[in-house]
A = this chain, B = another copy of it.
Amino acid sequence: MYSLGINFDLTYITVGIVDSEGKILLKESIPTLRYRKFEEIIRDMAQLCIGVVKKAELDMDKDIDFIGIGCYGSIDNKNGVMIYSSYFGFKNVRIADEMKKYISNIPIICENDANCYALAESRIGATKGLKNTVIVTIGTAISGGIIIDDKIYNGKAFGAGEFGHHVVVFQGEECECGRNGCWAAYASTNALVRDARIMAIRHPESLLFKMVNGDLRLMSFRTPFDAAERGDKYSAQIVANYKKYMALGLINIVNVLQPEAIAIGGKIRKLGRDFINDVAELVAEKTFGQYEEDKKTKILMCDIDYDAVIIGATMLKH
């Protein structure tokens, strides 16, 4: 038997056929085209499911026992409803019911995408074997998932784990959420790119500026890391600050939740393990309490890439 795992993202919908070990047999994507009516989006999602199953020469009724959907936003997993999703602009949209118009005989569960990510990591990834863990995905935004006692912790209105939106700099940079100084406004890759651009403007003599030929649109979150490696002192400063901001929020999470481990995923994984280890060292230095090494929260890198949402979605079954 297989399950279908769906990553229902802002830009793409990806469907994967996943076996009971969490291995992906086949996956396919279509663009979300998110400004459409949700009924159209879900229709395409269902057709993608049907198409993928056919392509794998499987039978939906006989070979697929479950569909899990990892969605961007706050998701009522009991009723398969997207309660609220800022970028989609959806409110109280009944995703599972809409899917059942096309695929009626298979149980469907929806869940927040970061929560699916956290579940996959805790079952077969970096946090495997631990009961209380957190994952933080860092990319253009910061998301998170909390696993307590081996289960997803959802919070009252299915919105827990919004680590990106805890303020670390009172009256700091504006955040998309309406507050100022959120962690996401300092530790997301968008924030890193912003800070690198500002530094480049201030120092046109810097390698940072030269590496983008003065065209700041070309600045990526990796540029300051590359320039720092080649000896640019301004970039080294950006990198050092970025690590500090990253550690700042992680220490806050440790002091509040003290999970067994925090695994970091998302685009930031591309910076590699050395980067994560540097941040982990900063976290260990400043964490509250004088804990022995084996009692400290481990700071890890997520094992699974973007597929974690697809894989984790199929694990909602258990």
Contact = CB atoms under 8 A, between A and B. Distances in A.
A169 B166 CA distance: 11
Contacts of A295: 83, 156-157
Nearest to A170: B169
Interface in A190-234: none
Interface in A115-164: 132, 146, 148-149, 153-157, 159-163
Given A148-B148, A286-B178, A257 B74 contact: no
Interface in A292-311: 295-297
Given A148-B153, A157-B295, A166 B252 contact: yes
Contact of A256 (B154, B160, B251): B160
Contacts of A289: 74, 84, 157, 159, 162
> A132, A146, A255: which has the most chain B beta carbons within 10 Å?
A255
A309 B159 CA distance: 30
Nearest to A244: B170
B84 A290 contact: yes
Interface string A164-177: 01111110100001
B156 A260 contact: yes
Contact of A166 (B84, B91, B256): B256
A253 interface: yes
Nearest to A297: B156
A160 B258 contact: yes
Interface string A276-292: 00000000001011110
Given A84-B291, A149-B149, A159-B289, A256 B258 contact: no
5 contacts: A83-B295, A132-B156, A148-B149, A159-B288, A162-B258
Interface of A: 74, 83-84, 91, 132, 146, 148-149, 153-157, 159-163, 165-170, 172, 177-179, 181, 186, 245, 248, 251-253, 255-260, 286, 288-291, 295-297
Given A84-B290, A155-B259, A159-B288, 9 more contacts: A84-B289, A156-B258, A156-B295, A160-B258, A161-B256, A165-B288, A179-B251, A252-B252, A253-B256
